[in-house]
Amino acid sequence: MLLAFALALLVCSVTEGRIMNKCELKAKLDGSDHETRPNTDTNAVRHLYGVFQLSDQWACDSGMNPSLNVCNMTCSALTDDDVTDDIACLKTLMNIT
C-alpha cells in the first residue's frame, strides 16, 4: 500500500500542465517560432472558432461570411467540448495546403 502511494505521488509530481495562448499553440503546431501577425486587411472580417482557431473563411460555415466550408460543418461544432471534429477539420485543412 505504501509503495502504491509513493508511486502515485511520484507520478503526480513529475507531470505538469502548461497554459498556452493561441499564438504559442499555433507556433508549436506549425513548427515555427515566429510571432503571428494580425490580419490588417480592414475589408476582411473573419471569425476564428475552436481550439485551433479555424477561420470561417475556410473551415466552417458561420452564417455570417461567405465560406469555402472545407470541413463541411457549422462553426458552432468547433466550439463544443468535443475536439475530435476540430482535429479532423485541422487535418483536412492541412492536407489541402
- Residue 92 inside a domain? The answer is yes
Chain mean pLDDT for the chain: 77
In a domain, 14, yes or no: no
Between 14-23, 42-51, 63-72, 76-85, the lowest mean confidence (pLDDT) is in 14-23
- The pLDDT of 14-41, averaged and rounded, is 62
pLDDT in tens, 61-75: 999 889 999 999 999
Distance CA 83, CA 55 (A): 16
Cα separation values, 95 from 8, 88, 92, Å = 41, 11, 5
C-alpha of 64 from chain center = 21
Number of domain units in the chain: 1
Q: Which residue has the higher pLDDT, 91 or 46?
A: 91
In a domain? residue 75: yes
36 part of a folded domain: no
C-alpha cell at 91: 487535418
What pLDDT is recorded for position 12? Answer: 52
Segments forming the whole domain that contains residue 87? 22-31+46-97
Whether the Cβ atoms of residue 60 and residue 73 lie closer than 8 Å to each other: yes
**In the predicted structure, residue 35 carries a pLDDT above the cut 50:** no
* CATH code where residue 85 lies: 1.10.530.10
